[in-house]
Amino acid sequence: MWAPVRESMFLGRGALKNFARFKSLTLQTINKQVLEAEYAVRGRLPTRAAAIQQEISQGMSKYPFKELVYCNIGNPQQVGQEPLTFNREVLALLTAPHLLSNSEKLVEQGLLSAEAVARANEYLEKSAKVGAYTDSVGFEFIREEVCDFIFSRDGFRPDAKNVFLTNGASEGARLVMSALAAKHLGTIGFMAPIPQYPLYSALSTLMDSELVGYYLDEDKNWAVSLPALNAAYDDAVKRGIVVRSLVVINPGNPSGNNLTADTLRDVVRFAKEKNLVLIADEVYQENILTKHPFKSMSSIMHELNLDLEIVSLHSLSKGFLGECGVRGGYCIFENFDPEIMQQFVKLKSIELCSNTVGQLSVGLMVRPPVADAATLYEKEKNEVLGSLRQKAEILRETLSALEGISLSEIGGAMYAFPQVKLPQAAIKAAEEQGVAPDEFYCMQALETTGLVVVPGSGFRQVEGTFHFRTTFLPTLEKMQRAMKSFADFHNDFMKRYS
Amino acid sequence: MWAPVRESMFLGRGALKNFARFKSLTLQTINKQVLEAEYAVRGRLPTRAAAIQQEISQGMSKYPFKELVYCNIGNPQQVGQEPLTFNREVLALLTAPHLLSNSEKLVEQGLLSAEAVARANEYLEKSAKVGAYTDSVGFEFIREEVCDFIFSRDGFRPDAKNVFLTNGASEGARLVMSALAAKHLGTIGFMAPIPQYPLYSALSTLMDSELVGYYLDEDKNWAVSLPALNAAYDDAVKRGIVVRSLVVINPGNPSGNNLTADTLRDVVRFAKEKNLVLIADEVYQENILTKHPFKSMSSIMHELNLDLEIVSLHSLSKGFLGECGVRGGYCIFENFDPEIMQQFVKLKSIELCSNTVGQLSVGLMVRPPVADAATLYEKEKNEVLGSLRQKAEILRETLSALEGISLSEIGGAMYAFPQVKLPQAAIKAAEEQGVAPDEFYCMQALETTGLVVVPGSGFRQVEGTFHFRTTFLPTLEKMQRAMKSFADFHNDFMKRYS
């Protein structure tokens, strides 16, 4: 296919007609890494769901349900969660500062809190212009607020020059991984959990590197285990891979685990011992469902007095804010060579600064209101977190009661990753259709109940086991209904294929 | 340096102390493409300017000026331009929809226009949630508005499925270039103008590809010329480079040109003849200072009835909006293979959707108000554009009167790119200091007048010629003062080194 295209390059204008059918960019001439990259969270299931949604909207649905229940993406506000009033008030004022000229009246009318007005004024005095590029790494005063937040959370204070404000957490991961993907050293390996959030496999492929998966221990609520880390590492080294980095997602996506301090000590020591850059994906740190609290990997590193090169990622998109659409987050670099920090600054400069509304939202995330807006803020926050807890419980109750499904503790994040022990007949039926058995199961669940979940194969899993990832984000009422019809579906499915 | 680091990987924990001084990520072990990428717009000059700014702020300035005048970045709102009221009102309402519950009162009080309220309500009815991920390629209703805009501008209507909403225009360029950087075909070349916006050279380097520069014709107001395109292309092919794409920036950055329809016909025919993907960077399409209007490359392609694979980029950051901080833009793909479009959708999915405020701002950009908000909108728009015209004129008058400076027509965009005929003694003095002669000149201009501009070497230029890029964005008063002291500086500099 490529040959004639190249040929046409050397032909005169007269030849154009003959070659017009050859596109310049084809599946043969595209960057192979781009072609090979996978991103399963937005795969066949959601495509099918979109088609069903359209049929429902047009009143042409032939399915035994009236609406879809989207448990496939951690996108809380899409499925009913409301934003926090204080944060949005400050953002609205910063977006349209002329409203501040009459803010007293608006406060009197109960349209705005006085504290939102005060915070907006404070940020404006610090030159928080929404419409101008900021420093590529973000507003300095917000980066200082992030440092204050870390200090109050972990008891040590990073240097603001090592804090970058990013468009969500993904950008931070991409920044670091692209710096590590040094091909002159050989084939680069990035260690990441199995199951993993597919961002990491996609980025590895795009960077022509290898994802070195380490298995989480399903029997121990998806914990990271030292033997699994060592096994994955040793195997990769044996295969000649230069392992450079370890990704740990805590709380876990899709596994929903919340790692204990002991486990995190193992993680940090292992990364130091192997001289790996630790990518600490901690975007679910506010979503905790276990008795033990969230511990940051960075605090563990300080406790162990190790000078590990660590990047901690956080985001607006999760927690109780769920501000996915705003696209904001931060990454904190610790113990990196100052010359390398300059390289990161340069890389971020090429991308230009992250969006200012996202940057300002990071400030609001790490510094909640403390005056007249605090009561409502706490109420809204507790409602979100309380409701998540309640819905996780409904999910747990339903799934763990079902024969053929085993479910680990839901320790945090917004997900459960139940295992389905698919009958041989179902596996065979799937194979006959040429689809993965877990996709076969999830597709039937979708078409029978309207529940949209993601097959485990999109996240990788131990071969021969089958899972799916589900959020517990839709409203309580929808979750209750969905779980009821899902239980019926599952029992029926198991009967049919047993 | 790398050897001991690898060794440490195989040592037990006891060895850690000895190796703690070796970082995992160093200048030796970083991705070479990252190390080699350059991004001059944020180079030594702005670093020096930041230091001077700090001295001024602390009252310790020893310089003969009271303030810096930033003409180094196209960042209008940083240097005094105000955002458009209508757009910001709609955005504020979409950010804090609870304000809409009392919107009648706010309209009565003159705080909001009725049209802003109507538009916000309209977008909300179309499910414009600020806080949720949208489709990865953006809100569909905004993409339809972009199509309407193109139809009214160019007379043909793209398909909304080929429109992606992006975080500014850079993201669109990165998307396409990463797909084209197919190393299995050989060393990939991206044609881009010299002088060029350094995004393109940086992206080429990051993608391990080569920037194939074609010289703009300075004597013809920086026009693109067919001989220059052919010369660059032929030379690259001779060197074994697989040239895949042509970047044309119109109006030009940093050259400030506005290409004629005839020139654009040459460009489009050339790209088709060589089977190149045309990247049409048209972010300055509203910034026109010549008598002939802006013409989109896509409209030229339709006029010539050619089925070129073209990507058109646009952004909120320039024009009369100048919403750099919001980070919004779009790219429109035409004539791409549907299978390739799927690949672009996948790539965009990995990055997740662009920020929603930026997406909604694109809607506001392409669909201005027509009812009660229209008068103020037109007034604000004309003020911005009128002021830019006036300041471009001041710049032109000052610079073209100076001996040793030659200045092409300022045809569009926000920049001029004057040539300075540096005396031999100045070049020698610069060489002795180990800096580029144009940087030497710009640094002295900064330290003498407070004017911050960017040396031409950051954009590439014909060897042995020296330029600088300056915006004309600061307020009229500042521009007048800056130009006066700059003229004195220049004359003095030329005298000193002649």
Is pLDDT above 60 for A4? no
Mean predicted confidence (pLDDT) in B228-232? 98
For residue A177, the one-letter residue type is: M
Judging contacts by C-beta atoms under 8 Å, the chain B residues touching residue A346 are 37, 39, 42
Is B23 in contact with A335 (Cβ distance < 8 A)? Answer: yes
A 50-79: CB under 8 A from B:
73, 75-78
Q: Are the beta carbons of A339 and B26 separated by less than 8 Å?
A: yes
Q: Which residue of B has its CA nearest to A9?
A: B274
Residue B353 contacts A, CB cutoff 8 Å: yes
CA distance, residue B273 to nearest chain A CA (Å): 6
- Report the percentage of chain A scoring pLDDT > 90: 91
Q: Cα distance from A64 to chain B (closest Cα, Å)?
A: 26
- Whether residue B167 and residue A167 make contact (CB cut-off 8 A), yes or no, is yes
Measured between beta carbons, the chain B residues lying within 8 angstroms of A202 are 350
Q: Provide the shortest C-alpha distance from residue A190 to chain B (in Å).
A: 13
CB contact under 8 A, B309 and A27: no
pLDDT value, residue B47 = 87
Q: Confirm or reject contact between A118 and chain B (CB < 8 A).
A: no
Residue entry with tokens 């058995």? A437
Predicted pLDDT at A172:
96
The number of CA neighbours under 13 Å toward the Cβ of A67 is 10
For residue A404, give Cα distances in angstroms to A256, A399, A419, A493: 20, 9, 8, 10
Q: Would the pLDDT of A12 be above 90?
A: no
With 90 as the cut, is the pLDDT of residue B19 above it?
no
Which residues, 6 or more positions from A267, have their beta carbon under 8 angstroms from its beta carbon? A224, A229, A246, A248, A259, A278, A297, A300
Helices and strands per DSSP (H, E), number in chain A = 19, 14
pLDDT at B32 over 60: yes
CA–chain centroid gap for B291, Å, is 23
Which of A75, A102, A134 is the closest to B132 by Cβ?
A75
Contact present, A5 and A22 (Cβ < 8 Å): yes
If pLDDT is split at 50, 70 and 90, which confidence band does B168 have? very high
- Whether residues A325 and B30 touch (CB distance < 8 A) is answered with no
Helices (H), A198-250: 198-206, 226-238
More confident residue, A102 or A338: A338
Nearest by CB to residue B355, choosing from A31, A327, A347, is A327
- Shortest distance between the Cα of B357 and any Cα of chain A, in A, equals 7
Above 90 in pLDDT, residue B60? no
* Residue A397 dihedral angles phi and psi, to the nearest 5°: -60, -50
Q: Are strands A242-249 and A210-215 parallel, antiparallel or unpaired?
A: unpaired
pLDDT at residue number A7: 38
User: What proportion of chain B, given as a percentage, has pLDDT over 70?
Assistant: 95
Pick from B355, B360, B361 the residue to mutate for testing the A interface (most A CBs within 10 Å): B355
Higher-confidence residue of B8 and B446: namely B446
Nearest residue in chain A measured CA to CA from B276: A24
Q: pLDDT band for position B21 (50/70/90)?
A: low
Query: Exposed (0-12), middle (13-18) or buried (19+): which is A67, by Cβ within 10 Å?
Result: middle
pLDDT tier for residue B240 given thresholds of 50, 70 and 90: very high
* Nearest CA distance, B397 vs chain A (angstrom): 28
Say what the pLDDT of residue A10 is: 40
What is the predicted pLDDT for the residue at A60?
Answer: 85
Average pLDDT, chain B: 94
Q: Which of residues 301-320 of A touch B (CB under 8 A)?
A: 307, 309, 317
Is pLDDT at B380 greater than 60 in this prediction?
yes
Across the interface, do A95 and B98 touch by the CB < 8 Å criterion?
A: no
Mind listing the pLDDT tens digit for each residue in A40-96?
666 789 889 999 999 999 988 889 999 999 999 999 999 999 999 999 999 999 999
Mutation pick from B313, B352, B354, B364 vs chain A, by most beta carbons of A within 10 Å, is B352
Q: Kindly list the structural domains of chain A, giving each domain's residue range(s) and its CATH number in brackets, ordered by start.
A: 40-79+385-497 (3.90.1150.10), 140-366 (3.40.640.10)
Tell me, what's the ipTM?
A: 0.95
Mean pLDDT of A250-266: 97
Do B336 and A23 touch, CB atoms closer than 8 A?
yes
- Look at B111 and A88 and tell me if their CB atoms are within 8 Å: no
The pair of structure tokens assigned to A13 is: 């204008």
Rounded Cα gap, residues B24 and B17, in angstroms: 14
Tell me: pLDDT of B173 over 80.
Answer: yes
A275 contact residues in B (CB cutoff 8 A): 5, 8-9, 19, 22, 24
User: What's the gap in Å between the CA of B13 and the closest CA on chain A?
Assistant: 6
Cβ partners under 8 Å of residue A406, min gap 6: A400, A418, A419, A421
How do residues A133-147 score in pLDDT, each as one tens digit?
Answer: 999 999 999 999 999
Q: Are B472 and B392 in contact (CB under 8 A)?
A: yes
**Is the model more confident about B40 or about A39?**
A39
On average, the pLDDT of chain A sits at 94
Contact (CB<8Å) B89/A75: no
Task: Kindly state whether B324 is in contact with chain A, defined as any CB-CB distance less than 8 angstroms.
Answer: yes
The mean per-residue pLDDT over the stretch B347-370 comes to 97
Q: Does B20 touch chain A (CB under 8 A)?
A: yes
Lowest mean pLDDT: which of A316-325, B37-46, B206-215, B316-325?
A: B37-46
Quick check: A340 and B26 CB within 8 A?
Answer: yes
Cis peptide bond upstream of A195, omega within 30: yes
B106, B133, B243 ranked by CB distance to A325: nearest: B133
Closest-CA residue of B relative to A103 is B111
Distance CA A485, CA A468 (A): 17
CB contact under 8 A, B242 and A6: yes
Task: Give the Cα separation of A16 and A7 in Å (integer).
Answer: 11
pLDDT digits (tens, 9 = 90+) for B410-430: 999 999 999 999 999 999 999
Element housing A30 (H / E) = none
Residue B6: pLDDT band (50, 70, 90) is very low
Q: Does A201 touch chain B (CB under 8 A)?
A: no
Interface contact flag, B27 A339, Cβ < 8 Å: yes
Q: How confident is the model at residue B8 (pLDDT cuts 50, 70, 90)?
A: very low
Q: What was the pLDDT predicted at B15?
A: 39
Q: Is B3 on the interface with A (CB under 8 A)?
A: no
